Structure 1
Amino acid sequence: MQDNITGGQHRAGKPGADALQKIVAVMLRQDIAALPRNFELVFEALSGGNPDLGQDFTTLGPKPSQHALDQLGLKHRLPGHCGATAERLQTEALKALSSIKAKLALGLGQKRSFARSVETAATSIRAEADVGIEQLLGELDLLASIAREMVQAETLLAHEVAEGLNTLETADRAMQAAKALTMRDRLTGLPNRAAFLQTLEETHARSTAARTSALVLIEICDLAHLHHQYGDEAAVKLVKGLARIFRKAIKKHDYIARIEADTFAFVFDDIDAGDAHIIAERLFNTAENNLVFASDTGSELGGLPLALGHVMAHEATDPLHWLSLAKTATQLARLNPRQPIIGHKPGQRQVA
């Protein structure tokens, strides 16, 4: 079963009892360690939502190594594996820093020893004006030996510093990738609710009555019923299909996110309420004219019921109020199929 089809945005799709038993059986049969990230990998491989991952998992053969599993998880950007890799690299980076610290301390000690040796030799030469050439050469040989050891230590340290920096950079990239995954909807690749709320806050802060922004919500009416009636595969194709349609229907600088299992959110800058309604109508018509998805029986389904609500930023006191007003407008549109697009008007009340 695919992640985030009919559940909440932050609740991962959970396999049923039969699917759970199948996953456990596969892991036991292939001697795969019972780690959360391995469970996630097997779940995604068996769900059918990612055919490439399923094929790659099959090619691993029986009893795959943990390294092979982790590499596969990284290839398909599974959050558990990205997070584990970032944590491992961070640990390696800390070890590298500790090693560099120790080498720096050793190098500093060698330099102090060399300085003391130079000072001792100079004092000895001053104290004994008639010092012989052999003794002088002996002192110089000692200093040269210490200097060679220092050069070798500095060379080794430079190499370790370079390797340590490379490890730190790799760890940073892995951590950034893992962080980015937490801000993305895994099914559609769109920004998720967490990313959306951040954008909503930033947009509301810079909006004014003279130069405002619009929030448009599009809800798939009764997605749970469609999922139950037509199956998981059809629901997955439906949501992915809508995501593709909406991405193509908006401009590059416009913002789209999937904030709930059945809800897409759009933010449009520097437009008025009339423009927002026109854009909402265009999105509705684009989805209605282009959406076709196959059910688990192979038949096609059209006429998807959608509800759209829109509201301007300056009409809300804060970002969450802005989202609440948009939800109210969307709820009203859902209750009136003959008017599937409703803009917020002052005085609208929350629908129970």
Structure 2
Amino acid sequence: MANRKSSTTDVALRVATAMKQMGIDGLPRNYELVYEAYAGSNPDLVRDFIALGKYKTQAALDELGRKYLPHQHEASVLQRSAGAISNEMSNFMDLLSQERSSLNDYGRLIGEASQVIGSVGGALGSSLEALQRATELRVTHTAEMAEKVAAQSATMDGIQKEMAEFEAMKFVDPPTKLGNRRAFNKALARVYSNPNLPMLCGVVVAEVDAERRFSPAQIEALSDHLVTFYGGLIRQAFPTNDLAVRFDGLRFGFLFNTADEGEVERLIDLLRAAFQTVALRDPRTNRNLGHLTLSAGVCMSDRADSALDLSSACERALLEAKASGGDQIVIYGRGDEVPAGKEWMLYRA
């Protein structure tokens, strides 16, 4: 059990290899799309991905992404919201046009009545009746106008609320309140926004070693509790100025804003120590279930050329940590004896 490899880590490595073989650009949205296709959790996505053929254009990938991963294409969501707002504004302008027409009609009736009153005194009564009817129609129309404007305002408020909720939640993992994979991908892309001068930082992919203590069936039964418990523990113990996210299951990602490899290792060790401080308890009986451990793969940003390479390096380091029994940190680095441009080497911390 201790030597069992993480299937999700295997998938991540297959994704990185497949993307290079198929010539797919290492964009965060492409990585997530290919990852989900290879993970196989959505059969429809797998079928449509295969249907794209051996050589997949960026346009075809984006079309697939908009269908299955809309959060990676927030521009489309914002465009829909902008379109809804535009329609509401058009409707509002129509109401204003109707109001202007009503005012014109009202003015015309007043003018006609004034002329009649001035020229034919005997018709004064009928003119006043016409003026009264126009006034009553005006009052009714004004009330209807107020109701329509109120309805339009409520619709606009709903659209604004929807957009605010979308902005607030698109980078959040709901069960843990940590960041999500999308936040992680965005942060990695920002690291290499200037390829000639990448941001110096340390990146970690970690996984709770639940398999060292529980059977697969027990993990499945406790899965929701494990996610919320360890997600909350990480949220409490993690530095607020750094990024912590949950990918899926019990896999987490971290980005430390430091170029000091030793500091990254120290911070991960503090997190692992927190795992040993707080005991896991059964959510139903409150029975003490002991302490789980954490395995982590680390890579510094100056040892990779792109966001895809950086995440792949962390995944490979994590795979090594899990394969060696778990409960350890493996750092992905380059030895002094290895010439530039050659293979990476792994070494345990």
Answer yes or no: same fold by TM over 0.5: yes
In structure 1, distance between residues paired with 2:258 and 2:162? 36
1:259 positional shift: 0.5
Q: Is the 8 A contact 1:241 1:291 kept in 2?
A: no
The answer to whether the 8 Å contact 2:303/2:333 transfers is no
Matches within 5 A, 1:1-352: 103-117=95-109, 131-135=119-123, 142-143=130-131, 145-174=133-162, 176-177=164-165, 183-202=171-190, 204-205=192-193, 212-221=200-209, 223=211, 226-228=214-216, 230-294=218-282, 300-302=288-290, 304-337=292-325, 340-346=328-334, 347-348=343-344
Deviations 1:148-179 (A, max 9, x none): 53344234312321232123313542565467
CA distance in 2, matches of 1:131, 1:312: 94
Q: What is the alpha-carbon distance in structure 2 between the residues aligned to residue 100 and residue 224 of structure 1?
A: 63
Q: Secondary structure at the match of 1:308?
A: strand
State the Cα deviation string for residues 80-137 of structure 1 (Å, max 9, x = none): xxxxxxxxxxxx9999889756644543332232344456567x57xx9x82445578
Which residue is equivalent to 2:23? none
Q: How many Å separate the matches in 2 of 1:210 and 1:175?
A: 32
**Counterpart residue identity of residue 201, structure 2:** S
Task: Tell me: CA distance 1:121–1:314, structure 2 relative to 1, closer, same or farther (3 Å).
Answer: farther
Q: 1:206 to 1:176 in 2, by over 3 A?
A: farther
Counterpart code for 2:207: E
Q: d(CA) in 2 for partners of 1:229 and 1:298?
A: 19
CA contact (8 A) 2:235 2:244 kept: yes
8 Å Cα contact 1:329-1:344 kept in structure 2: yes
Q: CA RMSD in A?
A: 4.7
Deviations 1:236-278 (A, max 9, x none): 3333322122111112232211102131111222453222121
Once residues 135 and 250 of structure 2 are traced to their aligned partners in structure 1, the CA distance between those partners, rounded to angstroms, is 71
Q: Which amino acid aligns with 1:348?
A: W
> Aligned letter for 1:311?
C
Q: 1:281 to 1:235 in 2, by over 3 A?
A: same
Aligned-partner Cα distance in 1 for 2:296–2:331 = 8
Q: Distance in 2 between matches of 1:279 and 1:208?
A: 28
Helix, strand or coil at the partner of 1:219: strand
Shift of 1:183: 4.8
State the structure with bigger RCO (CA 8 A, min sep 6), 1 or 2: 2
* Equivalent residue pairs, number: 266
* Alpha-carbon offset, residue 209 of structure 1: 5.7
> How high is the sequence identity, in percent, across the aligned residues?
19
CA contact (8 A) 1:242 1:291 kept: no
- Quote the offset at 1:308 in angstroms: 0.8
Distance in 1 (alpha carbons) for counterparts of 2:133 and 2:283:
80
Structure 1: gaps spanning 5 or more residues: 1-5, 15-91
Measure, in 2, the Cα distance between the counterparts of 1:309 and 1:12.
24
* Alpha-carbon distance change, 303 to 145 in structure 1, aligned in 2, over 3 angstroms: closer
Q: Secondary structure at the match of 2:207?
A: strand
- The offset of 1:279, in angstroms, is 1.0
Question: Alignment partner of 2:216: what SS?
Answer: helix
Is residue 191–residue 256 contact of structure 1 (8 Å, CA) maintained in 2?
yes
Supply the distance in 1 between the matched residues of 2:261 and 2:295 (Cα, whole angstroms).
17
Change (3 A) 1:310 1:210: same
- TM-score scaled by length of structure 1: 0.57
Q: Quote the residue 1:29 is aligned against.
A: none
In structure 1, C-alpha distance between the alignment counterparts of 2:195 and 2:263, rounded to whole Å: 16
